A and B are shown apart, each in its own frame.
Chain A
Amino acid sequence: EVQLVESGGGLVKPGGSLRLSCAASGFTFSSYSMNWVRQAPGKGLEWVSSISGTSTYIYSADSVKGRFTISRDNAKNSLYLQMNSLRAEDTAVYYCARVNGRSWLDYWGQGTLVTVSS
């Protein structure tokens, strides 16, 4: 059974940093691209960042470029999102999601809440 479990969310002050993790199991992690998608309270879904199976291809949304860094450790079956210079507008539930095919997202974690507030 495919499982994705996020952790690392919490309350952080504006300008602060946080590192999210996503532990994957039930599939060959290195064979799949992975994404981070976020959802601000009461809002829709926003794609954040994507990383290919071997980390060759990395893409990020303009809204987080230069501040957030996606990475992965295939030996640990883990995906990460390093978030620096956090802003109030980064407050959201952050989901990790597995990419299938041409880039639909077939499995999602339960999400981890990041709150940026003073």
Chain B
Amino acid sequence: EIVMTQSPATLSVSPGERATLSCRASQSVSSNLAWYQQKPGQAPRLLIYGASTRATGIPARFSGSGSGTEFTLTISSLQSEDFAVYYCQQYNNWPPLTFGGGTEVEIK
């Protein structure tokens, strides 16, 4: 099973600032990585797939990068609606599909 590790667990950022979230895989997942955003009481929403391709309707301030075992989600200028929990998920080698433990982006 591929273990996904996200860091930090919590990221405190001021509105308008840049946020950088990390995701590490226990073995290479190539570019088969997705990012999701989840707000309290809501279902997850797909942001990024293929490590760097934005899903339909996702603003350009969200960008993904990386391949192999190291990945980054960057939010270039945080808006109020971006404060949420973010999860990475690998789909290179499954079952099982595996998710990271999440990074909470909170208002500083």
Q: Which of B8-54 contact A (CB under 8 A)?
A: 32, 34, 36, 42-46, 49-50
Kindly state whether residue B66 has any CB partner on chain A within 8 Å.
no
Query: Cβ of A50 and Cβ of B99 under 8 Å apart?
Result: no
Query: Cβ of A44 and Cβ of B99 under 8 Å apart?
Result: yes
Query: Cβ of B99 and Cβ of A47 under 8 Å apart?
Result: yes
Most A C-beta atoms less than 10 A away, residue of B42, B44, B87, B97: B97
How many residue pairs link A and B with beta carbons under 8 A? The number is 63
Nearest-neighbour CB distance to chain B for A112, whole angstroms, equals 11
Interface of A is mostly: strand
* Residue count of chain B within 8 Å CB distance of chain A: 24
With beta carbons under 8 angstroms apart, the residue of A62, A104, A107 that contacts B91 is A104
Query: Cβ of A45 and Cβ of B43 under 8 Å apart?
Result: no
Query: Cβ of B99 and Cβ of A104 under 8 Å apart?
Result: no
Query: Cβ of B49 and Cβ of A110 under 8 Å apart?
Result: no
Binary interface encoding of chain B residues 67-97 relative to chain A, with 1 for a CB under 8 A from any of its CBs, else 0: 0000000000000000000010101101111
Query: Cβ of A104 and Cβ of B34 under 8 Å apart?
Result: yes
Which residues of chain A have C-beta atoms less than 8 A from B45's C-beta? Answer: 108
Binding site for B on A (CB under 8 A): 35, 37, 44-47, 50, 59-62, 95, 100-111
Binding site for A on B (CB under 8 A): 32, 34, 36, 42-46, 49-50, 55, 87, 89, 91-92, 94-102
Further 15 A-B residue pairs, CB within 8 A, beyond A47-B95, A47-B96, A102-B92: A35-B97, A37-B44, A44-B87, A45-B44, A45-B87, A45-B89, A45-B102, A50-B95, A60-B95, A61-B96, A102-B32, A103-B91, A103-B97, A105-B46, A110-B42
